[in-house]
Amino acid sequence: MSRSRPPTTDDGPPKTLLICPDCGHESHLDGDWQTHLEPTVEGTVRVSICPVCDGEIARRPA
């Protein structure tokens, strides 16, 4: 399949790629990371867990 547009043009906004610092597992932000909500004194946060090594990848406000 050939496109008339240059290959550098994406079909949509770039996805955020997360990489596990412990085992190097790569997946997009909406990939196969296991997430759970965790209440903190500053409010509930969404914690992303690596499905390979169970390491914590990131935590964001829920």
DSSP, res 28: E
* Footprint (CB under 5 A) of Zn ion, residues 2-61: 20, 22-23, 25, 50, 52-53, 55
CB 19 to Zn ion: min, Å:
9
Pairing state of beta strands 43-49 and 56-61?
A: antiparallel
CB 24 to Zn ion: min, Å:
7
Nearest to Zn ion of 28, 44 (CB atom): 28
CB 53 to Zn ion: min, Å:
3
Q: Checking phi first, is residue 23 left (phi over 0); if not, alpha (psi -120 to 50) or beta?
A: alpha
Question: Which residue has tokens 């169970």?
Answer: 54
